[in-house]
């Protein structure tokens, strides 16, 4: 409801400015006052207008306040400080609307959105860095779905790259395993852990003898070509590891719709189709000299002179030859090799083709096979050269979000520039690199894990994980630890519950702790991972919020009432006048703050989507839980003597409980029945 009122206010202000001053503003800035005593919305509008209107801000603010008139849902407007306009809403009306629990809808664009996340090399166990990616991606999917968007979730599988090749080399040349040996190994639990170690061993093995590196290159070529024994072994390994990744992510309630694989991008000749278009459009050109002689190259993103909007327009209007001349002058440094001199295509090229497919611009499609059926019957599909005849339709989307770490931003931008160069500007504009920073280990954590550190590394605040060194925290290990720790607590607190109930709760708490931990940091901050913080269930954590829900639930259980029904039917239980009385005035600001926070779910979700920043939701959930815990402490609800007051307090608990459950669900966190 908070969002709904904000939009209504913005619209009225726009109309008013047009009427009163003949001013058109595209965006009315509406802030949240630092304290609820100032009201629910704050407009710094008068400061902005001061220059345009050549009047003192305070004077303008007074004019607006006296002229704005009646706006439904708002009680009054006040001028504060040097010219702030503070808006006060009708508290009872807002509370009643919130209690009903139905957010007035907004227009939802019809197009489908594709979110790509996880994309873990299928050659070793997933680690905490992959967890951050998957949790960010999955949460963003849930945010979009909450906002009413249709979303396809894809997990790109690089099954023909060097990382898979390294493990293949490990099996063939270090451990000397046959295909059937490996097939047996894949049936053992956590085959991906075996590969984790083997990958690290293979990386060392390359250092021992330059000849070994030649084997690696040969293996890589065999994988890319396909149709040979090495490729068959790679297929067995990467498919088994991929299944493990899906299982790991499913422990966190993360699911995918489709798994496009690089092998199909190669074998279905996606690149050939893209290559032709890129050459025709002049995006790619052949280099005749220097370091990149014999390669097809394009300008690396971010190396051109930055163009302003006007310059870009001029450029479009000016003669074509200027453009190509400018492109030809790209220095070697600024060139990105797309096709190597031996004719093979690099990963950026494949990525360009893949993204043309996403937008339905390639004129080719994958084959589709059923791959993984989740316990909830959701079917996950995988790409295939020859697919099944009946399959859902993927691709042809109108917006793309790629959850890929910040280190790849240049490559991502190069793909966007290629689309632009092909003339697909709207598609390029709706291509979002959802960039986030890595998860690193604190030196203390690395030491705990028994890794030897150089003096240099010990002095740093964090150390990057490294698959090649086998250096990192495996996802399943962390999840196991969290579950064990939660299980211990649940067992000691709830002897009355049976084993499977306790197990389920422990899992919910573990998932809540982990997902919250990965979401509470803003994307651009490197997470310096530490077991102490990650395993905490106290303070700013998922379990803290889950516990608030349990406390609310307990009130209703003890009172023999249905929490949701109680909240929803507030209007028939208490008159509007009485409700107003309970919420009015300074004495009740603290209660009102709680209601106001509970009204913000849709507003926060919008903010998260607009900024591709799920951390705002995590902060909001924590604040709401914190306000509730204070409320819980101050008001022994069931002991309340005044019947009307008691109903009001119950409704408060019911509404907050419902909104907490909702918001947690958007973060992929379940609310346990007991803790």
Partner RNA sequence: GGGCGCGUAGCUCAAACGGAUAGAGCAUCAGAUUUCUAAUCUGAGGGUUGCAGGUUCGAUUCCUGCCGCGCCUACCA
Shortest Å distance, C-beta 176 to RNA: 24
What span, in angstroms and rounded, lies between the C-alpha atoms of 440 and 11?
45
Nearer to RNA, 58 or 369 (CB): 58
Nearer to RNA, 160 or 427 (CB): 160
17 binds RNA (CB under 7 A): no
Token couple for 294: 């014999």
Contact letters for RNA, residues 163-182 (x by CB under 7 A): x-------------------
612 binds RNA (CB under 7 A): no
Find where tokens 């109930």 sit.
501
Nearer to RNA, 74 or 185 (CB): 74
Looking at 471, 632, 666, 669, which residue binds RNA (CB under 7 A)? 632
Name the burial class of residue 295, with classes exposed (0-12), middle (13-18) and buried (19+) by CB atoms within 10 angstroms of its CB.
Answer: buried
Angle, in degrees to the nearest 10, between helices 91-100 and 2-21: 130
34 binds RNA (CB under 7 A): yes
522 binds RNA (CB under 7 A): yes
Nearer to RNA, 185 or 528 (CB): 528
DSSP 371-412: EEE-TT-PEEEEEESS--SS-------SEEEEEEEGGGHHHH
Looking at 16, 74, 77, 84, which residue binds RNA (CB under 7 A)? 84
Chain positions 486 to 505 lying near RNA, rule: CB under 7 A, are: 486, 489-490, 493-494
Looking at 25, 44, 193, 370, which residue binds RNA (CB under 7 A)? 44
14 binds RNA (CB under 7 A): no
Q: Which long-range contacts (CB under 8 A, 24 or more apart) does 529-533 make?
A: 529/128, 529/439, 529/440, 529/441, 529/442, 529/445, 529/462, 529/473, 530/441, 530/442, 530/444, 530/445, 531/445, 531/448, 531/481
Nearer to RNA, 91 or 300 (CB): 300
292 binds RNA (CB under 7 A): yes
**Options 129-137, 290-298, 314-322, 371-379: segment touching RNA (CB under 7 A):** 290-298
Looking at 22, 27, 498, 643, which residue binds RNA (CB under 7 A)? 27
Looking at 29, 281, 307, 373, which residue binds RNA (CB under 7 A)? 29
Q: Which residues contact 37 (CB under 8 A, 6 or more apart)?
A: 586, 589
Chain positions 348 to 377 lying near RNA, rule: CB under 7 A, are: 350
153 binds RNA (CB under 7 A): no
Shortest Å distance, C-beta 471 to RNA: 13
62 binds RNA (CB under 7 A): no
For residue 369, give the 3-state DSSP assignment: strand
Give the 3-state DSSP-derived string for 340-366, with helices as H, strands as E and coil as C: CCCCCECHHHHHHHHHHHHCCCCCCCC
Shortest Å distance, C-beta 351 to RNA: 9
Token couple for 209: 């003898």
As a 3-state breakdown, the chain gives helix, strand, coil percent values, each rounded to 5, of 55, 10, 30
Are the C-beta atoms of residues 628 and 660 closer than 8 Å to each other? yes
304 binds RNA (CB under 7 A): no
Could you give the C-alpha distances from 434 to 325, 430, 431, 609, 630, in angstroms and in order?
Answer: 33, 12, 9, 11, 36
**Options 13-21, 172-180, 549-557, 565-573: segment touching RNA (CB under 7 A):** 549-557
Shortest Å distance, C-beta 111 to RNA: 24
Could you give the C-alpha distances from 505 to 157, 336, 452, 497, 674, in angstroms and in order?
Answer: 33, 51, 37, 10, 7
Half-sphere exposure (CA, 13 Å, Cβ side) for 62?
Answer: 7
Neighbours of 212 (CB within 10 A): 16
Q: Which residues contact 391 (CB under 8 A, 6 or more apart)?
A: 368, 381
282 binds RNA (CB under 7 A): no
Nearer to RNA, 42 or 660 (CB): 42
294 binds RNA (CB under 7 A): yes
Q: How many residues bind RNA (CB under 7 A)?
A: 100
Looking at 633, 641, 642, 643, which residue binds RNA (CB under 7 A)? 633
The end-to-end CA distance of the chain, in Å, is: 31
As separate numbers, helices (DSSP H) first and strands (DSSP E) second, the chain gives: 30, 16
Nearer to RNA, 363 or 636 (CB): 636
86 binds RNA (CB under 7 A): yes
**Options 92-100, 193-201, 274-282, 611-619: segment touching RNA (CB under 7 A):** 611-619
Shortest Å distance, C-beta 319 to RNA: 28
Chain positions 552 to 571 lying near RNA, rule: CB under 7 A, are: 554-555, 558
**Options 95-103, 190-198, 341-349, 560-568: segment touching RNA (CB under 7 A):** 341-349
Chain positions 428 to 457 lying near RNA, rule: CB under 7 A, are: 437
133 binds RNA (CB under 7 A): no
What span, in angstroms and rounded, lies between the C-alpha atoms of 417 and 301?
7
Shortest Å distance, C-beta 222 to RNA: 14
Q: Which residues contact 602 (CB under 8 A, 6 or more apart)?
A: 1, 2, 3, 4, 103, 146
The residue count of the chain comes to 675
526 binds RNA (CB under 7 A): yes
Are the C-beta atoms of residues 266 and 160 closer than 8 Å to each other? yes
Chain positions 373 to 432 lying near RNA, rule: CB under 7 A, are: 406-411
**Options 231-239, 294-302, 447-455, 569-577: segment touching RNA (CB under 7 A):** 294-302
Looking at 432, 536, 612, 644, which residue binds RNA (CB under 7 A)? 536
| CA-based nearest residue to 120, from 107, 111, 129 | 129
Q: Give the residues across from 77 on adjacent strands.
A: 87
537 binds RNA (CB under 7 A): yes
Shortest Å distance, C-beta 378 to RNA: 27
295 binds RNA (CB under 7 A): yes
483 binds RNA (CB under 7 A): no
Kindly report the backbone phi and psi dihedral angles of residue 655, in degrees, each rounded to the nearest multiple of 5, phi listed first.
-70, -45
Angle, in degrees to the nearest 10, between helices 229-250 and 475-493: 30
Shortest Å distance, C-beta 283 to RNA: 17
Shortest Å distance, C-beta 410 to RNA: 4
Chain positions 112 to 131 lying near RNA, rule: CB under 7 A, are: 121
| CA-based nearest residue to 12, from 39, 41, 32 | 41
644 binds RNA (CB under 7 A): no
184 binds RNA (CB under 7 A): no
What span, in angstroms and rounded, lies between the C-alpha atoms of 541 and 50?
44
Shortest Å distance, C-beta 551 to RNA: 6
**Options 188-196, 243-251, 310-318, 547-555: segment touching RNA (CB under 7 A):** 547-555
80 binds RNA (CB under 7 A): yes
Looking at 4, 117, 474, 520, which residue binds RNA (CB under 7 A)? 520
**Options 14-22, 230-238, 339-347, 476-484: segment touching RNA (CB under 7 A):** 339-347
Shortest Å distance, C-beta 299 to RNA: 12
């Amino acid at each position: 409801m908070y969002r709904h009122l904000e939009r209504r206010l913005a619209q009225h202000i726009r109309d008013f400015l047009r009427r009163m001053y003949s001013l058109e503003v595209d965006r009315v800035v509406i802030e949240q006052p630092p304290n609820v005593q100032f009201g629910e919305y704050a407009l710094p509008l008068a400061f902005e207008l001061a220059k345009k209107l050549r009047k003192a801000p305070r004077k303008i603010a007074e004019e607006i306040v006296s002229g704005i008139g009646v706006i439904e849902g708002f009680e009054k407007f006040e001028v504060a400080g040097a010219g702030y306009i503070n808006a006060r809403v009708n508290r009872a009306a807002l509370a009643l609307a919130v209690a009903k629990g139905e957010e007035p809808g907004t227009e939802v664009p019809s197009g489908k959105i594709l979110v790509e996340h996880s994309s873990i090399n299928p050659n070793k166990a997933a680690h905490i860095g992959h967890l951050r990616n998957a949790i960010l991606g999955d949460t963003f999917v849930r945010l979009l779905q909450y906002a009413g968007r249709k979303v396809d979730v894809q997990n790109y599988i690089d099954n023909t790259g060097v990382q898979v090749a390294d493990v293949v080399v490990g099996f063939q040349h270090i451990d000397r395993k046959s295909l059937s040996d490996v097939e047996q190994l894949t049936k053992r639990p956590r085959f991906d852990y075996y590969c984790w170690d083997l990958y690290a061993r293979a990386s060392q093995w390359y250092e021992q003898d330059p000849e070994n590196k030649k084997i690696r290159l040969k293996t890589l070529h065999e994988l890319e070509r396909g149709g040979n024994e090495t490729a068959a072994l790679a297929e067995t390994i990467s498919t088994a590891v991929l299944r493990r990744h899906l299982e790991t992510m499913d422990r966190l309630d993360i699911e995918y719709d489709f798994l496009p694989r690089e092998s199909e991008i190669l074998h279905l000749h996606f690149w050939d189709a893209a290559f032709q278009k890129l050459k025709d459009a002049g995006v790619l050109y052949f280099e005749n000299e220097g370091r990149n002689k014999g390669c097809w190259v394009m300008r690396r993103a971010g190396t051109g002179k930055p163009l302003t909007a006007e310059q870009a327009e001029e450029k479009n209007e000016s003669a074509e030859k200027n453009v190509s001349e400018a492109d030809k002058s790209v220095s070697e440094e600024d060139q990105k090799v797309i096709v190597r001199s031996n004719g093979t295509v690099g990963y950026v090229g494949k990525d360009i083709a893949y993204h043309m497919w996403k937008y339905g611009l390639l004129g080719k499609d994958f084959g589709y096979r059923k791959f993984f059926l989740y316990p909830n019957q959701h079917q996950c599909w995988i790409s295939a050269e020859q697919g099944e005849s009946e399959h859902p339709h993927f691709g042809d989307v109108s917006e793309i979000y790629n959850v890929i770490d910040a280190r790849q931003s240049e490559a991502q931008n190069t793909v966007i520039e290629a689309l632009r160069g092909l003339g697909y500007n709207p598609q390029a504009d709706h291509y979002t690199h959802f960039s986030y920073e890595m998860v690193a280990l604190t030196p203390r954590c690395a030491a705990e894990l028994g890794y030897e550190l150089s003096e240099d590394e010990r002095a740093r605040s964090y150390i990057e994980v490294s698959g090649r060194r086998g250096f990192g925290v495996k996802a399943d290990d962390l999840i196991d630890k969290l579950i064990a720790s939660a299980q211990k607590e649940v067992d000691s607190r709830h002897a009355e519950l049976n084993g499977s109930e306790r197990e389920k709760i422990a899992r919910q708490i573990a998932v809540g702790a982990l997902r919250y931990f990965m979401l509470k940091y803003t994307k651009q901050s490197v997470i310096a991972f530490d077991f102490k913080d990650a395993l905490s269930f106290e303070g700013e954590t998922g379990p803290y919020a889950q516990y608030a829900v349990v406390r609310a639930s307990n009130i209703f259980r003890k009172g023999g009432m249905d929490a949701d029904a109680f909240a929803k039917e507030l209007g028939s239980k208490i008159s509007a006048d009485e409700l107003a009385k309970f919420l009015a005035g300074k004495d009740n600001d603290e209660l009102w703050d709680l209601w106001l926070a509970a009204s913000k779910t849709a507003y926060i979700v919008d903010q998260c989507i607009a900024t591709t920043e799920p951390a705002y939701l995590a902060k909001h959930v924590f604040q709401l839980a914190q306000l509730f815990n204070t409320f819980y402490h101050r008001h022994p609800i069931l002991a309340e003597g005044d019947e009307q007051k008691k109903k009001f307090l119950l409704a408060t608990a019911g509404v907050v409980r419902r909104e907490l459950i909702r918001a947690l669900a958007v973060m992929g966190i379940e609310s346990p029945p007991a803790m």
